[in-house]
């Protein structure tokens, strides 16, 4: 009897303790909230508007990411966020479909009933003590809101090894949308080849800063980097080397499609470039018939420009271009095909103009819009041809006068292969030395007189790879200038000042470190270590 009572007491006690633990775990609302000021967070690009509510939301092991049932694309954004956060936080966040707003403690992504003013790419982010609600009109908008959430979490959330929490997010309301529809980078994979894994890593890094275009410079004098089934020697021979005489390489069509898909999942388009009629030695070395004298050239591993040209009055040249544009366009869901057109110093202008005119027609016939370096404005531009300004104001103005929109890539400001200063061990300086402040403190709508916001498609920062041989070197040149380019492309001009920006940029030091980026620690930036 006594024993029985003791036993009962024991079990009652256990029950009491168990219930108490349960109550304290399942009612996070009773927990003291940490005060946090969202205005002190360091989001890049700077959002259009932010309002603080001075508390915090905590992501816990109970949290999940809910998404309106029925949208696969929205679900994949939720899964992307879970995949980014689970390795570091260990919270086991799951992407789950729902038909209503979830209970407290969760993240909710919704594309129903968002503010139409947000447009195609904007988002509203409401962070309350009870949970996070992200709403947008499209999955792309959700994706950009998710990048903001990632930046609001501690930098170590970006690591791929287990880290200690807590995982707090400052509360407040963010309304945000981009200034320009095209926000991109260009990677030269011809002078030095970069692997599929490298390209994917670069895609991931630009996604964090809400960029949406990656232009791949797939052919040049030194290498042809994309498999063309109807002209196999382009890669077999033309892809076999690179600057300095190394092995080179190329993407098979399967690999290219894999890159395109990887980018698409991150709401980034791939813009393929086949540079012509100049910068074509790799093709001219692979097929004798593309040369006016019918003789194949030697492969080239130096860094001179402007010595090669297609034979512009041979019919086979246009058959070749048609095949190349067709095969690449079929694998490319994005709207653009870049035809290069730069530095064709050995193509007489009377040949260059009809050539560009014909190639524009070929690209249009394969359903793509033409992009070309500013020299193409010497030709008669079609209605939806876009001119990429890199150096020549006269060419670009000529393009605008023909009704073309401009992609802004001023070499003196955002050529990421330009050295920071005279001590930079990589890169070139033919356009300028570009310190971090110079790459940030310029304004696209006033940079070229007569070219205003209405003429500008967007901003793109190229990196040419004559001196850049691997990802470590690429990241040193790209970071920390890239976030500034992303901000120019996204944030309203009245929200931008170098003195304020440099503090936010400095706060991204720990994030770069968490991502394993070996960045240039410019003395102009007050870097934070944690």
Q: CA-to-CA distance for 377 and 452, rounded, in angstroms?
A: 18
Of the two residues 320 and 390, which places its CB atom closer to ligand TNX in the complex? Answer: 390
Of the two residues 123 and 373, which places its CB atom closer to ligand TNX in the complex? Answer: 373
**342 near ligand TNX, rule: CB under 6 A:** yes
Of the two residues 176 and 417, which places its CB atom closer to ligand TNX in the complex? Answer: 417
- The alpha carbon of 79 is separated from its chain's Cα centroid by a whole number of angstroms, namely 19
Of the two residues 305 and 441, which places its CB atom closer to ligand TNX in the complex? Answer: 305
CA atoms within 13 A on the CB side of 220: 27
Please, which of residues 437-496 interact with ligand TNX by CB under 6 A? Answer: 464, 466
CB 198, min distance to ligand TNX, A: 18
CB 464, min distance to ligand TNX, A: 3
CB 413, min distance to ligand TNX, A: 13
Of the two residues 191 and 266, which places its CB atom closer to ligand TNX in the complex? Answer: 191
Q: Specify the long-range contacts of residues 74-83, CB closer than 8 Å, at least 24 apart.
A: 74/109, 74/110, 74/111, 74/139, 74/142, 76/139, 76/265, 77/109, 77/139, 77/142, 77/143, 77/146, 78/107, 78/109, 80/143, 80/146, 80/265, 80/266, 81/107, 81/146, 81/149, 81/150
Cis status of the peptide bond prior to 333, with omega within 30 of 0: no
**343 near ligand TNX, rule: CB under 6 A:** yes
In this structure, what DSSP letter does residue 450 have?
T
385-278-250 Cα angle (round to 5):
90
CB 223, min distance to ligand TNX, A: 12
- The alpha carbon of 394 is separated from its chain's Cα centroid by a whole number of angstroms, namely 29
CB 342, min distance to ligand TNX, A: 4
Pairing verdict, β 106-110 and 131-136: parallel
- The alpha carbon of 442 is separated from its chain's Cα centroid by a whole number of angstroms, namely 20
CB 519, min distance to ligand TNX, A: 20
Of the two residues 440 and 464, which places its CB atom closer to ligand TNX in the complex? Answer: 464
CB 225, min distance to ligand TNX, A: 14
Of the two residues 202 and 390, which places its CB atom closer to ligand TNX in the complex? Answer: 390
Do 278 and 313 meet the contact criterion of CB atoms below 8 Å apart? no
Of the two residues 45 and 272, which places its CB atom closer to ligand TNX in the complex? Answer: 272
Coil, strand or helix: which one is 161?
coil
- The alpha carbon of 395 is separated from its chain's Cα centroid by a whole number of angstroms, namely 27
CB 415, min distance to ligand TNX, A: 6
Q: Which of 181, 265, 289, 343 is catalytic?
A: 343
Cis status of the peptide bond prior to 480, with omega within 30 of 0: yes
Q: Which residues share a beta bridge with 226? A: 251
Q: CA-to-CA distance for 111 and 61, rounded, in angstroms?
A: 25
Please, which of residues 138-197 interact with ligand TNX by CB under 6 A? Answer: none
Do 426 and 473 meet the contact criterion of CB atoms below 8 Å apart? yes
Q: Is 298 labeled as catalytic in the residue annotation?
A: no
**300 near ligand TNX, rule: CB under 6 A:** no
Q: CA-to-CA distance for 489 and 185, rounded, in angstroms?
A: 11
Alpha-carbon torsion, ordered 31, 36, 38, 43, to 10 deg: -100
**129 near ligand TNX, rule: CB under 6 A:** no
Please, which of residues 414-443 interact with ligand TNX by CB under 6 A? Answer: 415, 417, 428
**68 near ligand TNX, rule: CB under 6 A:** no
Please, which of residues 348-407 interact with ligand TNX by CB under 6 A? Answer: 373, 390
Binding footprint of ligand TNX on the chain (CB under 6 A): 305, 342-343, 373, 390, 415, 417, 428, 464, 466
> Catalytic amino acids?
343
């Amino acid at each position: 009897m006594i024993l029985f009572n003791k036993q009962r007491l024991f079990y009652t006690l256990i029950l009491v303790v168990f219930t108490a633990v349960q109550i304290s775990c399942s009612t996070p609302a009773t927990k003291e909230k940490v005060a946090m000021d969202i205005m002190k967070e360091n989001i890049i690009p700077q959002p259009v508007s932010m309002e603080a509510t001075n508390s915090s939301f905590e992501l816990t092991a109970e949290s999940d990411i809910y998404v309106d049932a029925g949208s696969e694309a929205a679900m994949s954004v939720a899964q992307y966020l879970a995949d980014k956060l689970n390795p570091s936080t260990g919270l086991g966040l799951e992407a789950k479909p729902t038909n209503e707003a979830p209970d407290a403690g969760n993240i909710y992504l919704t594309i129903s009933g968002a503010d139409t003013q947000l447009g195609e790419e904007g988002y509203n982010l409401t962070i309350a003590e009870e949970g996070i609600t992200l709403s947008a009109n499209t999955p792309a908008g959700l994706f950009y809101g998710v990048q903001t959430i990632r930046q609001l979490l501690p930098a170590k959330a970006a690591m791929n090894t287990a880290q200690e929490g807590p995982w707090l997010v400052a509360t407040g309301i963010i309304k945000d949308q981009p200034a320009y529809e095209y926000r991109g980078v260009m990677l030269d994979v011809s002078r030095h080849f970069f692997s599929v894994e490298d390209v994917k890593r670069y895609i991931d890094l630009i996604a964090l800063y809400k960029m949406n275009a990656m232009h791949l410079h797939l052919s040049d004098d030194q290498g042809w980097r994309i498999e063309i089934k109807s002209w196999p020697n382009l890669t077999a021979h033309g892809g076999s080397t690179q600057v300095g005489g190394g092995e080179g390489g190329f993407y098979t069509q399967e690999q290219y499609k894999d890159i395109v898909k990887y980018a698409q999942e991150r709401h980034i388009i791939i813009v393929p470039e086949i540079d012509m009629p100049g910068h074509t030695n790799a093709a001219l070395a692979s097929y004798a018939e593309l040369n006016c004298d019918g003789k194949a050239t030697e492969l080239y591993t130096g860094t001179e420009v402007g010595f090669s040209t297609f034979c512009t009055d041979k019919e086979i040249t246009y058959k070749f271009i048609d095949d190349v544009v067709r095969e690449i366009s079929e694998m490319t869901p994005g709207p653009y095909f870049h035809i290069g057109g730069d530095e064709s110093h050995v193509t007489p202008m009377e040949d260059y103009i009809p050539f560009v005119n014909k190639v524009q027609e070929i690209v249009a016939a394969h359903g793509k819009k033409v992009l070309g370096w500013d020299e193409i404005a010497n030709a008669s531009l079609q209605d939806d041809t876009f001119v990429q300004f890199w150096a020549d104001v006269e060419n670009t103005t000529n393009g605008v006068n023909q009704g073309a929109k401009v992609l802004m890539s001023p070499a003196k400001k955002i050529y990421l292969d330009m050295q920071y200063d005279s001590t930079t061990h990589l890169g070139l300086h033919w356009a300028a030395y570009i310190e971090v402040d110079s790459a940030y403190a310029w304004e696209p709508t006033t940079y070229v007189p007569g070219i205003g916001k209405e003429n500008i498609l967007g901003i793109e920062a190229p990196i040419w790879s004559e001196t850049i041989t691997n990802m470590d070197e690429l990241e040193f040149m790209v970071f920390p200038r890239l976030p500034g380019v992303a901000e120019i492309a996204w944030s309203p001009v009245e929200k931008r000042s170098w003195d304020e920006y440099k503090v936010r940029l400095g706060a991204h030091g720990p994030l770069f470190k968490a991502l394993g980026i070996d960045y240039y620690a410019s003395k102009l930036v007050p870097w934070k270590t944690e």
